[in-house]
């Protein structure tokens, strides 16, 4: 439970960080020692255990904790942009962020425990691309994006293209995820986040993030759900066809069609904590619960003119 040897860089500016991350080319004069693959250290809540168990052996750690320009949280009418150093706790506490995109706060409450949220970062969780984690499912459901920078330039990666596989983000060697963007919630839309974990704060056996949008007559106009722990990447399902037109005021019915739709489309695996069958069953149960809660939330928001 001790990490293998690694070189350590602690840059103070973004350009320095990107230089430190850049694959060291021989003869470039860039700092030497621990060339080869670099790994970003932000909150360290996933990386450090991996190092301690010697499951990861990066040649170089680039600690971005001193790069102040990454410690940002920008909220506009368009959405919430979270910088690479913004901790879960800070984002979760932000009333402005919650007003523009309430799902963020709802999901963050399920991320591990307070001590982890005090240190771990939202962008770090996305870059870790664990399909059992809450934030990738939220980013995917909301069609958000990740801003990546490298010594060569910047690009925006839409959520749909960011999660390539388990623990496999679409970041290239030398690229740093500098921020993530969570779009604002549309009008007459409610959100919910539900999950089942074996213990409080554990990775979910199954989790569902949902958005439900109502029409002017308070009937369900659109319903979408993002699933965690049911596939190798966050799964987003458009459930609109299974529940459109449902009367939100009366609770929207039993949501069984949507639950059945979800059960048919999730593709969970069995592991030591739950069988695939049980996870599939939970995906259905949680689909109903999430849609019910999101619909109730949508009515509340519609009533408040939001």
Partner 1 sequence: MSTRMFGEPVARREDPRLLTGRGRFLDDLGRDALAAAFVRSPHAHARILDIDVTGALDVDGLVAIYTFEDLPDQVGAPLPVLLPHPALTHGRTARPLARDVVRHVGEPVAMVVAADRYLAEDAAGLIRVEYERLPAVVGIENAEAARDLVHDDVPGNVGAVLLQENGDAAAAIDAAPHVLEFRLAIERSASTPLEGRGVCARWDADDGSLRVYTSTQASTSVRAAIAARLDLPAGKVEVVAPDVGGGFGVKIVHPWPEEVLVPWAARLLGREVKWAEDRREHFVAAAHERGQLHDVRVGFDGAGRVLGLDVRIRHDHGAYTPYGIVIPIVTSTQLLGPYKIGAYRAEVVSLYTNTLIVTPYRGAGRPQGVFCMERTMDRIAGHLGLDRGEVRAANFIQPDEFPYDQGLTFQDGRPLIYDSGDYPGLLRKVRDLIGWDGFGALRAEAAARGRRIGVGLGCYVEGTGVGPYEGGHVEIDSAGRVHVSTGLTSQGQGHQTVFAQIAATELGVPIADVHVTTGDTRRFGYAVGTFASRAAVMSGNAIALACRKVRAKALRIAAEALEADPSDLEITEGEVHVRGDRSASVPLRTVAVLSNPLRYAFDEQTAAATQFAVGGSPSEPPVAAGDEPGLEGRDYYSPVRSTFAAGAHAAIVEVDPDTAEVRVLRYAVVHDCGRLINPMVVEGQIHGGVAQGIGGALYERMVYDASGQLLNASFMDFLMPYATEVPHIETDHLETPSPLNPLGVKGAGEAGVIPVSAVIASAVEDAEGLRVDAMPLSPDELFDLRRRAEHDPALRTRAVNGP
Interface with partner 1 (CB under 8 A), residue from 14, 116, 218, 285: 285
200 binding partner 1? (CB under 8 A): yes
Q: What is the DSSP letter of 64?
A: -
272 scored as a contact of partner 1 (CB under 8 A): yes
| Residue 3: exposure state from Cβ atoms within 10 A (0-12, 13-18, ≥19) | middle
Closer of 163 and 203 to partner 1 (Cβ)? 203
Q: Which is nearer to partner 1, 98 or 274 (CB)?
A: 274
Distance from C-alpha of 302 to C-alpha of 306, rounded to nearest angstrom: 5
CA count, 13 A, side-chain hemisphere, 65: 12
Task: Say if CB 184 and CB 112 are below 8 A apart.
Answer: no
Q: Which stretch binds partner 1 (CB under 8 A): 1-9, 80-88, 164-172, 290-298?
A: 1-9
Joined together, the tokens standing for residue 92 give: 């979760």
Q: Would you give the binding string for partner 1 spanning residues 162-191, x where CB under 8 A is met?
A: ------------------------------
Asked if residue 201 binds partner 1 (CB under 8 A), the reply is yes
Shortest CB 200 distance to partner 1, Å: 4
Q: Which is nearer to partner 1, 6 or 35 (CB)?
A: 6
- Length of the chain equals 306
Please report how close the Cβ of residue 198 comes to partner 1 at its closest, in angstroms. Answer: 5
Least distance to partner 1 from the beta carbon of 49, Å? 8
Running DSSP on this structure, what letter comes out for residue 70? G
User: Judged by CB under 8 A, does residue 3 bind partner 1?
Assistant: yes
| Region 42-101 residues binding partner 1, contact defined as CB under 8 A | 49, 53-54
Going through the chain in order, the beta strands assigned E by DSSP cover: 7-9, 38-41, 60-63, 73-76, 79-83, 145-150, 153-158, 163-165, 168-169, 176-183, 189-197, 204-214, 220-228, 235-238
Question: Distance between CA atoms of 149 and 22, rounded to whole angstroms?
Answer: 11
278 binds partner 1 (CB under 8 A): yes
Q: Please, which residue, 49 or 161, has the CB nearer to partner 1?
A: 49
Radius of gyration of the chain (CA): 20
Q: State the chain's maximal CA–CA distance in angstroms.
A: 70
Single residue of 25, 29, 153, 199 touching partner 1 by CB under 8 A: 199
Determine the interface stretch with partner 1 among 153-161, 170-178, 242-250, 275-283 (rule: CB under 8 A).
275-283
The number of C-alpha atoms within 13 Å of 58 and in the hemisphere containing its C-beta is 21
Q: Does 198 bind partner 1 (CB under 8 A)?
A: yes
Which of 16, 31, 202, 215 forms a contact with partner 1 (CB under 8 A)? Answer: 202
Contact 135, 126 (CB under 8 A): yes
Query: How many Å apart are CA 22 and CA 38, to the nearest integer?
Result: 8
Site stretch for partner 1 (CB under 8 A), options 13-21, 92-100, 194-202, 216-224? 194-202
Choose, by CB under 8 A, the member of 161, 173, 238, 273 that binds partner 1: 273
Using CB under 8 A as the binding rule, whether residue 282 contacts partner 1 is answered as yes
For binding to partner 1 (CB under 8 A), which residues are involved?
1-5, 49, 53-54, 196, 198-203, 205, 272-275, 277-278, 281-282, 285
């Amino acid at each position: 439970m001790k990490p293998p040897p690694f070189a350590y860089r602690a840059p103070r500016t973004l350009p320095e960080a990107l230089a430190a991350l850049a694959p060291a080319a021989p003869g470039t004069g860039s700092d030497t020692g621990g060339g080869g693959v670099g790994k970003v250290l932000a909150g360290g809540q996933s990386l450090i255990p991996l190092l301690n168990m010697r499951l990861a052996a990066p040649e170089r750690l680039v600690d971005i904790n001193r790069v102040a320009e990454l410690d940002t949280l920008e909220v506009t009418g368009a959405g919430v942009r979270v910088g690479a150093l913004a901790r879960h706790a800070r984002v979760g506490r932000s009333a402005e962020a919650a007003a523009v995109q309430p799902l963020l706060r709802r999901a963050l409450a399920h991320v591990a425990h307070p001590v982890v949220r005090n240190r771990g970062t939202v962008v770090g969780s996305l870059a870790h691309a664990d399909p059992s984690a809450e934030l990738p499912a939220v980013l995917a459901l909301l069609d958000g994006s990740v801003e990546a920078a490298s010594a060569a330039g910047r690009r925006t990666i839409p959520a749909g293209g960011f999660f390539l596989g388990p623990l496999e983000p679409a970041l290239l060697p030398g690229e740093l995820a500098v921020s993530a963007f969570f779009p604002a919630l549309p009008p007459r839309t409610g959100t919910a986040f539900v999950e089942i974990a074996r213990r409080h704060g554990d990775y979910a056996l199954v989790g569902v993030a949902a958005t439900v949008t109502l029409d002017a007559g308070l009937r369900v106009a659109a319903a979408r759900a993002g699933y965690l722990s049911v596939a190798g990447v966050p799964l987003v399902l458009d459930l609109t066809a299974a529940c459109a037109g449902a009367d939100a005021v009366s609770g929207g019915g039993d949501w069984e069609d949507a639950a059945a739709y979800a059960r048919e489309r999730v593709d969970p695996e069995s592991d030591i904590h739950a069988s695939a069958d049980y996870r599939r069953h939970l995906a259905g149960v949680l689909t109903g619960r999430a849609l019910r809660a999101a619909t109730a939330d949508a009515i509340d928001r519609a009533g408040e003119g939001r």
